[in-house]
Amino acid sequence: MNLSKRIKQVTPSATLDITAKAKQLKQEGVDVISLSAGEPDFDTPQAVKSAAIQALNEGFTKYTPVSGIPELKKALSRELARANHLSYEPDQIVVTCGAKHAVYNALQVLVDEGDEVIIPSPYWLSYPEMVTLAGGKPVILRTGSKDGYTFTAKQLEKLITKRTKGIIINSPSNPTGAVFSKTLLEEIGRIVKDRSLFVISDEIYGELVYDGVKHYSIGALDPDVLARTVTVGGASKSYAMTGWRLGFLAAPKSVASASTALQSHSTSNPTSFAQRGYLEALRSGAADVEKMRKRFEERRNLIYRIVNEIPKLTPFKPSGAFYLFVDISKTKLKSIDFANRLLDQAKVAVVPGAAFGDDNAVRLSFAASEQDIESGIDRIREWLHKI
């Protein structure tokens, strides 16, 4: 059967690929250490599970409103105001099947054929593919570790053409862990306003910041920018709820309504009883989030210290998220070769930077136990000695 032109342009997610390969090897009994996962290794908080179980037992198993249950949208509106100083009414919020779905919806309702969307690199690998799926053209803004994986207003302005429709930002970033400063966000906001662009601000890692660094939401800095912003977040990373598939977008009413209409013809509502779990997470989960954040910070300190001692590797110290982005130029290997050989020969799974637009780096996840981090890095050190 002939596949559509649309899908032929899309490459499957390389992170999911390598994680699956590592899982498969583990199932076969191979002693693999996975530093590739994009999800917390912690379990979902018990109160959240209990709320979903109770919902099931109460028969809360039917369709809900497409954009989510009203109590959850109210709770998200309150949480965005409290934690992010963002002012969104519940009817500006759409609960989605994960943050990925929220970004997808936003691009589908904002991008027309041939529109250009600027994406700073290294980027989360789904952004360019989603822009392409919406008929748009991803335009990559290259950044490097020397500049802390940030950019200047000048660099951004240089890429803007008559066809530019918007920009996607992701702070804290997957894969680098870079956190944008307030000043940079203000600069981006000024350009977004001046050039009448949209900004999709993916803040899925917003709660996971370290060293007292503060996470700012671009939409909170200027009401005129808020009117051009789609804020994306979700339950996956901060509450250890990746499998629950719950995220949201918050946006101007026209965008939220369009997104609801799109969702009404694709997934309909996110799973009914899972939404009750998310509601409970927002109600009582703050202490759990802080506990996990602290553990991530300790692991960040550990992994950065030990990788930094390996002469051929140059890690970037992340201020947020749970990834260590490591420059491998000194090994003279390209990232896919590096990751494949490392998995085959030393049984450690990492994600090649090529997936994120940087072939001279690999991404190590520290959403893994301290023991796995230490043994995994030991194996990498020994392997690098041998090659």
- Positions touching ligand PLP (CB under 6 A) are 38, 98-100, 124, 170, 174, 202, 204, 234, 236, 242, 247
Helix, strand and coil percent figures for the chain, each rounded to 5: 50, 15, 35
Alpha helix (H) residue ranges in the chain: 5-8, 14-27, 46-57, 70-84, 99-110, 126-133, 153-158, 182-194, 223-226, 253-264, 272-284, 286-308, 335-341, 370-386
Q: How far is the CB of 279 from ligand PLP (least distance, A)?
A: 16
Q: Which is nearer to ligand PLP, 124 or 304 (CB)?
A: 124
Minimum Å gap between C-beta 267 and ligand PLP is 12
Q: How far is the CB of 204 from ligand PLP (least distance, A)?
A: 4
Q: Which is nearer to ligand PLP, 242 or 271 (CB)?
A: 242
Distance CA 129, CA 272 (A): 29
Smallest gap from residue 96 Cβ to ligand PLP (A):
8
Residue with tokens 């927002």: 282
Which residue, judged by CB position, is nearest to ligand PLP in the bound state? 98
Q: Are 118 and 106 within 8 A, CB to CB? A: no
Q: What is the DSSP letter of 162?
A: T
Give the residue with the Cβ less far from ligand PLP, 346 or 358: 358
Closest CA to 378 of 306, 289, 296: 306
Shortest Å, Cβ 225 to ligand PLP: 20
Count CB neighbours of 127 within 10 A.
23
Which CB sits closer to ligand PLP, 21 or 190?
A: 21
Give backbone dihedrals phi and psi of 168, rounded to 5 degrees, phi first. -110, 125
In the complex with ligand PLP, which residue's Cβ is closer, 249 or 326? 249
Residue whose CB is less far from ligand PLP, 316 or 333: 316
What are the CA-CA distances from residue 338 to residues 238, 274, 276, 347 (Å)?
30, 39, 43, 12
Taking the least distance from each CB to ligand PLP, the nearer of 124 and 198 is 124
Residues 251, 89: contact at Cβ < 8 Å? no
Closest CB 230 distance from ligand PLP, rounded Å? 13
- Shortest spacing between CB 201 and ligand PLP, in angstroms: 11
What does the alpha-carbon distance between residue 303 and residue 181 come to, in Å, rounded to a whole number?
A: 24
